[in-house]
Amino acid sequence: MRKLNKRDYIFFSIIVCIFSLFIIRLGYFQIVKGSEYAKVGESVSSKKVTIQAARGEILDRNGIPLVSNRQGNAIVFYGSDFPEYSKEAEIQKIRNDEILSLIKLFEKNGVEWIDELPLEINEEGQIAFKENSQKDLQTFRSKDMLHLNSYASPDNCMDALTDRYSLHGYSKEDAIKIGSVCYGMLKNTFNSSNSYTFAEDVPNELVSIIKENSHSFPGVDVEIVTYREYTDPTLAPHIIGTVGNISAEEYAQKSDTYAMTDIIGKSGIELAFEDDLRGIDGYKTIYTDSDGNSTIDYTQDPVQGKSVILTIDSKVQKVAQNALKNCLNEISADVVGTTPAGSVVVLEVNTGNVLAAATYPSYNIETYSEDYESLSGNSAAPLWNRAFLSTYAPGSTMKPIVAISALNEGVVKSEDNVYCDKTYEYSDLKLNCTGAHGNVNVVSAINYSCNSYFYEMGRRLGIDKLNKYREMFGLGQKTGIEIEEAEGVVDSPTYRQSINQIWYPGFTLQSAIGNSGDLCSPIQLANYCATIANGGTRYKCTLVKSIKTYDYSSTLWENSPSVVYQANFPTSYLSLAKQGMYLVGTSGFCGPIFASLPIKAAAKTGTSQVERYVDGEKVIATNGFLITFAPYENPQIAICVALEGATSGASVAPVARDIYSYYFKSQNDNSQQQQELLEESETSNQTDDNSSLKNNTLLQ
């Protein structure tokens, strides 16, 4: 017998390793993956289904939920089992009959299903276009859908739908319903790998009926999905924003990470923080055997989106909304040329954090989809975020920065007077003031809102120097807020040239009192006021405090104050402007309104006029503004109120008063409560100390 050599040992070792690998692999398939492959072997069909991840929650600065989630039922068509679309009428009829049967079941139970068809049967029994359906009709007629001419009539559209889906044998009422579902499936690319949602938020009772009659509805199933839930659907809807089905345009840009059936943020925080709020979908595989029995294998669990913590204080927000609404209702009788509307912004002076931002008129975010047509057609524009997107000539709220500019440029001193006799003459112009104020200096000019004084400052400074300081304080610039905002305009010869207008020297004087071509948003004015209040530091405005994991166990990102500009001129100039604003808030225009407050507030009022057309006639409407900060000695918050239709800046002051009243009373209450807790704690400690002393004495 030949003795084995080294080569033989190597050969046998390789053979053993190969057989070992085969045995291990066989064990893996039979033991580890045995049940899964048994399902596949026994199944007639299998389908991979997405498990929708819940979106992250949105909370206020104190952790109070503003937007959360709830579970509900969606009725879904799966292409692998649902009757296929066919050009053969007999085969298509199977599909149509199943759709009609499901629709009848929903109608019997008073439950709505998704209807995206831009056609309807009108009161006269005729096929007609739905109201406000132009955009939907454009999609409906496109070459990717029904491929019709842009001028196709309602009957032409219905005929095309009837021909495509073999609807000739049905009544007009049934045909348009079936056609609607078929069109929805076409529009949402329904196929073997892409499901179609027939109805959302379906009651459990109807779900039970569908499951009990599943043999009548092949390819129809129930999915447990999450829906957005709002603690108060009227609270800050313009900030929170909306969600909706992904559009064709959005899908074209995001098809690598989104499905055609996905929900996506459409506006506000929901849009701005889509990447954080969106969760990670899971997957399950459904196996069906020859007897129709189904088993489910969960291959990947969904992960909920991150939690976004806002800087908004929900209680201050509620107070701001109510104060805004109440004030507008009070002045509505005096409003000329416009529908009463407005906004208010509340900022933390030393951070740029937005505590509240309210717009009126507003809307209910929970019924946004159902109300969209009436909301979008409302002339008062309740969907428009006036706090961030509207821009106005700011009127006399511009005067404090003009005063600061003049002082720092050395064109006036604090003790210098300008004489006002109610008329200011410049070249061949005669400009009016609000009164004959006599000799006024920088402080009294702000208090009296003396146009003559600021006309003179505008003349001495010139437009370039004026604009240099206005831009330092953030006017005519975006504030950095995370959601959509307007940029505004700082008036100048360059700007006028860009709109094909001539710059006249008198524009500089008008700009110095905020009544030229300058356009500022309320949030810009609030931030400008905060910059004056804190001594010259302009912060980037923000709505988001932090981002946390869905279970709040970890903070993924924490916002910190971001300085955009720091004034490098003497703070005494800012102090003089603040002194003038203090007089406005205590003994001037706002004094009687702010008198009941527990703190002293500084303020500056303003008005501007705008031309509007009412019933074809040109009328002059007045807008009222207020910028204010408090407490005067140690500023904490700044407020801007802008009301369309207000007859004066002072008439808008009740909005700020109500916010101050709540904010500082709340702080005092908290402080008192903390003091009481501290005293209780000290008393408890003393009791414990006395008890210990007594025990020690007894022991001795």
User: pLDDT tens digits for 145-186?
Assistant: 998 998 999 999 999 999 999 999 999 999 999 999 999 999
Question: What digits encode the pLDDT tens for the residues 176-219?
Answer: 999 999 999 998 889 887 889 999 999 999 999 999 998 999 99
> In the prediction, which pLDDT does 11 show?
66
CA distance 73 to 63: 29
Instruction: List residues bridging with 419 in a β-sheet.
Output: 439
- Edge-to-edge order in the sheet of strand 617-630: 354-360, 341-348, 637-644, 617-630, 602-614
List all residues 6 or more positions away from 496 whose beta carbon is below 8 Å from its beta carbon: 502, 503, 507, 517
Question: What digits encode the pLDDT tens for the residues 28-79?
Answer: 556 655 555 555 455 456 767 778 899 999 999 999 999 999 999 999 998 8
Number of neighbouring beta carbons within 10 Å of residue 378: 15
Q: Tokens at residue 51, please?
A: 């498990």
What's the mean per-residue pLDDT of the chain? Answer: 89
Greatest extent of the chain over all pairs of C-alpha atoms, in Å: 132
pLDDT band at 3 (very low <50, low <70, confident <90, very high): low
CA distance 287 to 294: 5
| Range picked from 80-94, 121-135, 415-429 for highest mean pLDDT | 415-429
> In the prediction, which pLDDT does 125 show?
92
Domain 395-474+487-520 belongs to what architecture? 3-Layer(aba) Sandwich (3.40)
Ramachandran sector of residue 125 (left: φ over 0; alpha: ψ -120 to 50; beta: rest): left
CA proximity to 626, closest of 508, 517, 542, 514:
514
Question: What digits encode the pLDDT tens for the residues 343-363?
Answer: 999 999 999 999 999 999 999
Percent of the chain at pLDDT exceeding 90:
68
pLDDT band at 667 (very low <50, low <70, confident <90, very high): confident
Q: Tokens at residue 2, please?
A: 């030949």
Question: What digits encode the pLDDT tens for the residues 541-573?
Answer: 999 999 999 999 999 999 999 999 999 989 999
List all residues 6 or more positions away from 308 whose beta carbon is below 8 Å from its beta carbon: 56, 57, 58, 59, 269, 273, 276, 277, 544, 547
For the ranges 92-101, 520-529, 660-669, which has the lowest average pLDDT?
660-669
pLDDT band at 19 (very low <50, low <70, confident <90, very high): confident
> In the prediction, which pLDDT does 95 show?
95
